[in-house]
Structure 1
Amino acid sequence: MRFYHTSTCHFLAKLIVVLTWGILCVRAVECIDYEAISCRKHTAFLTDFGGKGGGKTSNTEAFRKAICELSKFGTDGGTQLIVPLGKWLTGPFNLTSNFTLYIHQDAVLLASQDEAEWDLIPPLPSYGIGRDAPGPRWKRHHRWSRSRMVTKFRQGQLKNTRPYLIEIMFSDHVQISNLTLINSPSWNVHPVYSSFVVIKGLTILAPIKSPNTDGINPDSCSNTRIEDCFIVSGDDCIAVKSGWDEYGITFGMPTQHLIIRNLTCISPSSAVIALGSEMSGGIQNVRAENITAISSESGLRMKTGIGRGAYVKDIFVRGMTLQTMKYTFWMTGDYGGHPGDHYDLKALPVIQGINLKDVVAKNVTIAGKLAGIDGDTFNGICMSNVAIELSEHATNLPWNCTNIQGVSSQVSPQPCALLSDKKTDCPFPTDTLPVDKIQFQTCAAASCHRLKDSDISS
């Protein structure tokens, strides 16, 4: 096994903490510089632990052995594991603390099709059961055969919940950057029970008819930043969550202090940004700006219902540019789906302080469908400077509102009477969240590994 100490090197590419995609020299003694939350003292290569390229030999044990061995250096400046160019077949593996996984820009992680390699793990405590099936769920992984899993899901043949590509649990100061994620069987990126998470520069691609292939799902997380991402999805591009019914209420961990900026989304059957539906730990202080979407079902969607409890409040959105949408805004107080039949009928969500401003939407079928809950009005909705151009196929009633309360200013077409006309500029916070204060360091990795032809074959 070879470890290299870092040194100052000429800039070649970016390397980002935890999961990344960059340029690594091959058959040359050069160095790379990259930006990261923390620099690492030691460097190793997957091939140092028996990794075999070519996409035919399983590297599950090589990854697991590497990460186990490298974890010993966590208190000595940390380590980075470099995955060289080529195709690397693998089952699931866990990462470790004070660790960077560096993936060469021409490297592909391929999921093993041998289900024996896939562990089962318990359902998340804030969900109680698996989302697809009551039992355990398959362990997360970086890639899986989407078509096989989706076919089984649609045919009702799954006994376990589909895995997610990347799941970060109970962690802080994590960065996931500069990756392309393709063909997830379900959610793509799922940070849960974590804080100070930066997700930057991801390209996420899923067939537009693939079920539940959400792009990024911050779930019971505090201080998360999502920026500069391009997502094509069969479900929500970004879905903000915090647990499911009584399990989420009991676990009681909200998603809060979330930044979403510079997002481009295509989602013909779902939302650009969704709040819920699993939001039973609460969602608060979400800031989204500079959002672009085309051919998507809705710009901002609220999904909740009786039994969810908790709250969604202090939501701030500005600068949305939408083209060819079914809905600009869609709020639903009767969203179904429960982990069981015994949810609390008295657990009503509090929806308060939803601020939407500076929105341009064209070729829209329905300007807004905003439906609260009988006896549980959605309060404090504010819309200002919103210009919606309806399509030639638009409905005769551009706005449909029930059980909501709020104000509107300079909104066209004229919104429903429940959004009273009042000259106002909906607020957007001016303070800086702690996650936005993270400063990146310029880090360096030492001499590159000389690869054999067998290591880079594809």
Structure 2
Amino acid sequence: MEINILFHTARNVVFEILDGEIYEAESDYRVFLDGGLVQESRRTVQSLYGLQPDTEYKLAVEKPGEEAAFAEFCTDREFVTLNVRKFGARGDGKADDTQAVQAAILSCPPESRVLVPRGIYRITSLFLKSGLRMELAEGAVLAADPDRSKYPVLPGMVRSWDEQSEFNLGTWEGNPLDMYASVITGIHVKDAVLYGQGTIDGNASYDNWWRDHKKKQGAWRPRQIFLNRCENVVVEGITVTNSPSWNIHPYFSENLKFLNLRILNPKVSPNTDGLDPESCRNVDIIGIYFSLGDDCIAIKSGKIYMGAKYKTPSENINVRQCCMRDGHGSVTIGSEMAGGVRNVMVKDCLFLHTDRGLRIKTRRGRGRDAVIDHIVFEHIRMDQVMTPFVINCFYYCDPDGHTEYVRAHEALPADERTPEIKNLAFQDIRADNCHVAAAFMDGLPEKKIERVLMENVSVNYASRPRADVPAMLDGVEPCTGMGVFARNIHELILKNVRISGQKGQDFILDQIDCLQKED
């Protein structure tokens, strides 16, 4: 057993316990700070709060039957703490505290902290600034006003005076479109931390933001946290709930950490993806609990204008020690991925009751820059996932998604509109009680999936499986108990892949150029 210090500020630390467990252990870890017991929890990623600035600490973790693990760290320096109550925030859930909290943010000097103490703070949009350290204390709730008329709008694209360049602020589903400013908004922010045990509540419901959710109403719906072209930002510890649309949306940003969060939305809420890095690089997503109404994590890089114009892939994304529950896809790549997605590692995660587990969705029209490459899923456990593995190159959820160009399974000319999937690896994965299909992998005939490795994978089926379609593409009927369906793959490697309880064949293979199968 080892301790990995993930991050610390002047007032908290977050750490990872490395002992082979996934998300949580069967028994509590006992956590000691300077020799005193401070916490007992089964979680493999934990945080401690209430620390003193510029102080050295000795951390120890004990677990029955194992030797204790130790680590040392020193908290950061801190100059002053600015309590938002001193700036006029009431925290009574009635007064509009937006200006008071924003004043504290703008006034905060370097190496200092904005503290939001216990209370309910009614706000609209707050804007972060570079160098900020902002703590939401236990019991603190930033409660967003759902009245859209009170929110500023971020224009999708602003042209320069000479029409030679452009400035992108707002975005909606991969295109530069006007959107309402988010509850927490960061624009070109560097070196900022938002952390604590508090909650950001978007107060979205079918009475407000979710009503007629497919229609633009003034501008497109805000996110809960939106980071546009930011660098070195950490979001840690907080709970994010009831978001108007995507919960956390980093956009053209880099060097980001999302640690030990809880992201909660009703299962019936529309477009409430958990965490969607879009055209981002160097992103750590560690120790997060997701329960929501859409994809838990969706890694994106825009539709064809943004992909072709900026050619900015999402890359170097690390996801581990997360629990995904109830969403459409546990970890999804696409479908807006015209800039490409590469170098993604997902490991040590738990997927529960999601429609799909490992989900890749693309389609003709995303463009030649839409290349998915070096994607690895490793040491994953699933239970009650409808279809554990999905690779869908005919995804239909766009205005033109049901056209013959998108849906055709005959080979079309490969041109500047054709996306590509290269190297995928699925290793050490167990999926219990699946329902629809063990795997559904359907590549383009004119640009086959280059290579898929499945190694040490086992799938079994629920005793009473529920019928559904394995993937969102035309021409596929609802089913139960399908084995591994694979079509239009250049090289398919199956090593120790065990399917039990399926109806019919365990492997349904078509148009596979090179098949390597080992028991």
1:217 counterpart = 2:288: no
**Amino acid in structure 2 at the alignment position of 1:375:** E
**Structure 2 unaligned regions, length at least 5:** 1-9, 13-32, 40-45, 58-72, 158-166, 184-199, 407-413, 466-478, 500-505
Match of 1:356 among 393, 404, 426: 426
Q: How does 1:46-445 map to 2 (within 5 A)?
A: 46-70=84-108, 73=109, 77-123=110-156, 130-131=172-173, 136-141=178-183, 142-147=200-205, 148-154=207-213, 156=215, 158-268=217-327, 270-309=328-367, 310-338=370-398, 346-365=416-435, 366-392=437-463, 393=465, 395=480, 397-405=482-490, 406-413=492-499, 414-417=506-509, 418=512, 420-423=515-518
Measure the CA separation in 2 of the matches of 1:329 and 1:277: 15
| Maintained 8 Å contact 1:85/1:108 | yes
Query: CA shift at 1:129, angstroms?
Result: 5.8
Q: TM-score by structure 1 length?
A: 0.79
- 1:400: how far off? 2.3
Matches of 2:217 and 2:85 in 1, distance apart?
A: 35
Q: Is the alpha carbon distance of 1:109 and 1:127 closer, same or farther for their aligned partners in structure 2, counting shifts above 3 Å?
A: closer
**Deviation of the 1:127 alpha carbon:** 10
Q: Matched residues, percent identical?
A: 25
| 1:90-145 Cα distance to aligned partner (Å, 9 max, x none) | 11011111111111111111112343320000237789863399851111115423
Is the contact between residue 174 and residue 197 of structure 1 (CA under 8 Å) also seen in structure 2? yes
Structure 1 residue 327 displacement after superposition: 0.6
**1:39 Cα shift?**
4.6
Q: Secondary structure at the match of 1:56?
A: strand
CA deviation profile, 1:351-383 (whole Å, cap 9, x unmatched): 011000001011112111111112011111110
Contact in 1 for aligned 2:155/2:168 (Cα 8 Å)? no
How does 1:10-21 map onto structure 2 within 5 Å? none
Contact 1:56-1:89 within 8 A present in 2 as well: yes
C-alpha contact (below 8 Å) 1:42/1:80 kept by paired residues: yes
| Residues 91 and 112 in structure 1, CA contact (< 8 A), matched pair in contact too | yes
1:384 and 1:372 map into 2 onto residues whose CA distance is: 20
Contact map agreement 2:173 2:336 (CA 8 A) in 1? no
CA RMSD of aligned residues (A): 3.4
The count of residues paired between Structure 1 and Structure 2 equals 403
Q: Which structure features the higher share of helix residues?
A: 1
Asked if structure 2 preserves the Cα contact closer than 8 Å seen for 1:123 and 1:137, the reply is yes
Change (3 A) 1:328 1:373: same
Whole-angstrom CA distance in 1 between matches of 2:114 and 2:274: 26
Unaligned runs of 5+ in 1: 1-5, 15-19, 425-458
